[in-house]
Structure 1
Amino acid sequence: MTTHPPARPPFDPELDAVLEAIGRVMSPTITPDMIPAARQEPSRRPTPETLAAAGLEARDVVIPGFAGASIEVSVVQPVGRTGTGPGIFHIHGGGMILGDRWSDLETFAETILRHDAVFVTVEYRLAPEFPDPVPVEDCYAGLVWTAENAAELGIDPDRLLIIGVSAGGGLAAGTTLLARDRGGPRLCGQMLFYPMLDDRDRTVSTLQIDGVGIWDRTSNITGWSALLGDRRGTDDVSIYAAPARATDLSGLPPTFIDCGSAEVFRDEDVAYASGIWAAGGQAELHVWPGGFHAFEGFVPGARLSQEMIAARANWLARMLAP
């Protein structure tokens, strides 16, 4: 007998029109055999000229990663920046299997300029070649390096914030938990864009988003299986790999979480915010009605996208204020 996904919230009409066009050239589903081809997409690293035209400059630094390996971070800041100001430690998305540290720079260029911030973006190693705990430990190593070099980087240690996008949101949540539990760098906030938090494939939203949208249930299983292998869905998964498994969310910095109502990550993201509130913490949660995964990147001019972008900017302004 064929089973069908449960009814799901409708996509916002303005987004749905674009999603239909996207679906003609891009599958909502990524399976393991598709990973090599998906990685052939060129890096979005800008040229120095492109950066300069945007008012930014960047330099690469090789730092110690997990277990003695070397990894790279890039330090991006306004051209000619001097003095001390906010620091943003960034972790890119890609389902643990795709992307690089430049994937989201366009999203944050205006933020860097507006806040005169130093933006440190980390090249963590990807699964399945580098399974858990390598990705989250690489990210933690990058955060530690950023904090230890705050004075040289021109970062006010009281205004160091972590941002992660999608899989990077899950890694940012795991990195923040590591910082809490190891007595590591103190963060003024964690900003989690539609974070990938739960490997167990049990929520209503993961059942709803199957074969539709962007990054559906099968894609999610592909990403988590690459990261965890046979441990996915078992009791042998740490809270740092899958932060939705954490039962104690006390002692975390102020947190921002957003997602769409029509995406796989909706229920785990709502639950994570609820867990922070239950532990007496501070969290701001936005569930955008009719939003599919990463909709603001695909349809930035849509009304819902503009509202999402504005909510993020408002929260950042509060967190990064002197």
Structure 2
Amino acid sequence: MLLLNGSVFMPSVLTLIGIPGLQPVQCWIGIPFCVMYVIAVIGNSLILGIIRYERSLHKPMYIFLAMLGATDIALSTCILPKMLGIFWFHLPEISFAACLLQMWLIHSFQAIESGILLAMALDRYVAICDPLRHTTIFSQQLLTHIGIGVTLRAAILIGPSIMLIKCRLKLYRTTVISHSYCEHMAVVKLAIEDVRINKIYGLFVAFSILGFDIIFITLSYVQIFLTVFQLPQKEARFKAFNTCIAHICVFLQFYLLAFFSFFTHRFGSHIPPYVHILLSNLYLLVPPFLNPIVYGVKTKQIRDHVLKMFFSKKHLDH
């Protein structure tokens, strides 16, 4: 319902414009995004299948990798189909309820991925610093509790931010979102009412999840490096460090993109809007795209099973 001053009361439909300033070339931008999504789904599904059917990989390190792959598929699927609908088929409308659902899913899966990365760091910490107790500590029961815990943490912390928008923000100056998906601050900025509580809670969630996780990940790897450098044999040091390379690459790409996107969005007022939106899109699409590649190349067990799968298939074809 449109009010006299041009504001809209509790809109039922919102419009996503895509990438502001780049609308004429959005159809071309969608091509690399689509390629990244296809590779992310195929790569992560392949890793999930290998871990599922290869009993020798039913270990904490690979179970966490399977959790990460499933989260990556879900996260990229939350954003890309609708984005391609905007870019290729000129379908920018989204219902207000669907927008809130997409927002909750995206930010929840981001939080879940951060929690899984923390669990993977702790797993490597125990495996290298206290290997004799690793099997005892990381039992099947603990793995189940970790999976449930990171999921509940995300759902519980993200949920109130959605409720604050739903219950407190009634009047909107426009229904047009200058973004390619329903991002929290992009929706909050549409409202006429005081949005300080929404912004403060958004910052609280970001720092309580990403800040907490990155502190403990950093502490874990500091202790890991100190332990590795104290190993007497060079081969043992190399083997221990090599098991962490893939994890470090995944941590860096996720958190560097997260903080770069976060700070440019909030403090880069002089940066063109399309740069903000492109960074936000890449932050959600690059980790799911690169993670299976990194683990497929750097993890010998995964790499060997992939090669075995394709070479066996080629042999059967001949």
Whether TM-score is above 0.5 comes out as no
Higher share in strand: 1
- TM-score computed with the length of structure 1 as normaliser: 0.28
Higher share in helix: 2
Q: Which has the greater radius of gyration?
A: 2
Considering Cα pairs closer than 8 Å and 6+ residues apart, tell me whether 1 or 2 has the greater RCO.
2
- TM-score computed with the length of structure 2 as normaliser: 0.29
